[in-house]
Amino acid sequence: MDNEQIIKTEYADIMQKSYIDYAMSVIISRALPDVRDGLKPVQRRTLYDMYELGIRYDRPYRKCARIVGDTMGKYHPHGDSSIYEALVVMAQDFKKGMTLVDGHGNFGSIEGDGAAAMRYTEARLEKVTQEAFLADLDKDVVDFMPNFDETEKEPTVLPVRFPNLLVNGSEGIAVGMVTSIPPHNFGEVIDGVKAFIKNNKITTEELMSYIKGPDFPTGGIVVNQSDLLDIYTTGSGKIRLRGRVEIEKGKNGRDRLVITEIPYTMMGANIGKFLNDVAALVESKKTTDIVDISNQSSKEGIRIVLELKKNTDTENLINMLYKKTRLEDTFGVNMLAVADGKPETLGLKAIIEHHVDFQFEVTTRKYRTLLTKELGKKEIQEGLMKACDCIDLIIEILRGSKSQKQVKECLVNGITEGIRFKSKASEKAAAGLRFTEKQAAAILEMRLYRLIGLEIEALQKEHEATLKNIETYTDILNNYKSMAKVIIRELDALKKEYAIPRKTSIENAAEAVYEEKKVEEMEVVFLMDRFGYVRTIDVPTYERNKEAADSENRYVFPCMNTDKICLFTDLGRQHLLKVMDIHFGKFRDKGTPVDNLCNYSSTEEQIICVESLGKVKNAELLFATSQGMLKKVEGQEFDVAKRTIAATKLQEGDKLLSVTVLADTAQLVLRTHQGYFLRFPLEEVPVKKKNAVGVRGIRLSQKDAVEEVYCMAEGEDKVTTYQEKEVHLNKLKIAKRDGKGTKYRV
């Protein structure tokens, strides 16, 4: 085509621009809340849709499926699950400082149970949402914008009367940024806003005399009060949270620990994880003081009970729970919100400042609308009062006119042409009339009953009230102090009705310190059978059952109960497991699968060597692979903190054949699948690092591989069998490493 335009551009430029556009869309239009109303777009649209559908706090509940469908069809063209999830969270009192939606049905639980499907649940607006979020939308207090298909209008922000961003907090992940704002106490936040309105030069530290810190709906204790000033000044930091633990006296002089409040971060599946962690502490014998764990939580609140032994050091045990479980956790604060159309990390004062500016803007627009309305009423009232004074003349004009237009022109401009009057005096009086267009329209619509004496008095009183309103509204609009007084009055009314006592305590607590009970060191015998089940027994038990233990198990060796066990696999990995984690018991106990105790997977790899770390780290290890690669490694390299490491580097297609702890070895013999034997001194194998491949021990022909590695002491006569024939290894001639070897003839 002649008028076709092809724009040539760099692909990288297109990608960069497109990605930036996408990122900004996610940041501004999905993931981050607006600092003014503290809501993300999906929350704002859901609440506005409920308001439009008339699902008010004093009306019946409506199906959530109806709310979600209507919101998706009109305002939020994304998945229904995201809308329903936002609706559910706004109704969960254990997640929000103040619920915005009144849910009816199963809306999930603090223990992580999900809400029922939207077709089963119902909802309506909370009273506070209706009064403090959605009131005055008819007074032009906020801007409206077209929805996605320009068939509806939606508010760009809701006229929220308190800093919802602080009261309910917010969490969201955008592109390259994340927001995490803790909830705060409603009454304290209102006191902070009032203090800022009265003195906008107030410091963050002074604000914190009103807003003490976060107030989580789950309660708990903030233990790093001294860090809060820095967090609220910068807008980011870490809050340390602890659950609340009470000590109750049980039967027979036994105490019990009762957890009545949990850290906010422990909600959901983490409660189950906490119970598992406590059970793991008992199983691993980190503590022997807990005899029973029960979760007695209900709708009334959290109650996790730990039954204790007699004479337990409860203080030490509580500190252990703080240290070893999520009973003490951190809440990462990053107060990121959309301010003036762009994402910004805000401190406490900045959030309140943005909110107060917004309140003054909303109040200005509200009273400007009300003033305009009152001025219109004043104009009409004055017209009607003036009309009452000359009602006989107006009736004469009405009766002498041929059309409504003729009457209106006479009332507004004094045009009497075409109107029949009873006298010239009446015509002259009519020519002097100068009502406004609105007054003339009101006079024409006026009903005769308004001429009753009492009605005229009522009109005069109404006019006086209008004049008073105009005076009040003008004063509010022109005087900062008057407007501030109005905003503070509204805040006081909200506080009186909706403020609740603080749930979270704030203090400076010492670091949790507990004394670990020293494990009594003793020698045990490690047993691992051919099915991969491991256990340990004491030495006397082993001595009594030595013959059976040696014949029934693949690996048997002594070690200390404080030691670790090294498992080397054919994939070149080393897995470590603590002896303390291994079942210790009777000889005929079944034991535990080794897969359950470390990262080893019996479906992916095979164990080729098992040894105690105590023995490994004080020796040299010989590594041999099926492709004939050899190396010696210092055992100290395998004494690591990680549970799994790469013990050696393997070439493509190669597998680790054997790992041998060297003691008196002087010579090596390698045997291949095709029957080649090579004998050479061990000193020809160099010491390498664990991440090295090693050196070639034998030259292999195609399709051949090393099958056995024999270690021999000086002068040792070692005999093996090959194809049912005995082979005396010390009779093989000594050669050099990296030779082809001698083929054994059967």
DSSP assignment string, 47-89: HHHHHHHT--TTS--EEHHHHHHHHHHHT--S-HHHHHHHHHH
Measure the CA angle with vertex 35, ends 33 and 36; round to 5°: 115
8 A C-beta contact, residue 730 and residue 717: yes
How many whole angstroms from its chain centre is CA 225?
22
Instruction: Identify the burial level of 175 via C-beta atoms within 10 angstroms of its C-beta, where 0-12 means exposed, 13-18 middle and 19 or more buried.
Output: middle
Active site residue 120: yes
DSSP assignment string, 494-524: HHHHH-----SEE-B-PPP--PPPPPPP-EE
Q: H helices of 216-313, where? A: 225-234, 269-283
Annotate 409-455 with three-state secondary structure. HHHHHCCCCCCCCCCHHHHHHHHCCCCCHHHHHHHHHCCHHHHCHHH
DSSP state at residue 733: P
Distance (Å, rounded) from C-alpha 465 to C-alpha 195? 33
Number of Cβ atoms within 10 Å of the Cβ of 387: 21
Distance (Å, rounded) from C-alpha 731 to C-alpha 727? 8
Number of Cβ atoms within 10 Å of the Cβ of 458: 12
Structure tokens at 280: 């793991």
From the list 732, 711, 740, the residue with the least C-alpha distance to 632 is 711
Task: State the virtual CA torsion across 167, 168, 171, 177 in degrees, nearest 10.
Answer: -30
Instruction: Identify the burial level of 312 via C-beta atoms within 10 angstroms of its C-beta, where 0-12 means exposed, 13-18 middle and 19 or more buried.
Output: buried
H or E segment at 339?
strand 336-339
Distance (Å, rounded) from C-alpha 618 to C-alpha 529? 26
Structure tokens at 606: 């095979």
Structure tokens at 121: 């649940």
Sheet holding 553-560, edge to edge: 553-560, 523-529, 533-538, 592-593
Structure tokens at 394: 């107006």
From the list 619, 621, 631, the residue with the least C-alpha distance to 737 is 631
| Widest CA span in the chain | 153
Distance (Å, rounded) from C-alpha 144 to C-alpha 157? 8
DSSP state at residue 114: P
DSSP state at residue 115: P
Q: Among 84, 120, 367, 449, which one carries the catalytic annotation?
A: 120
Q: What is the set of active-site residues?
A: 120
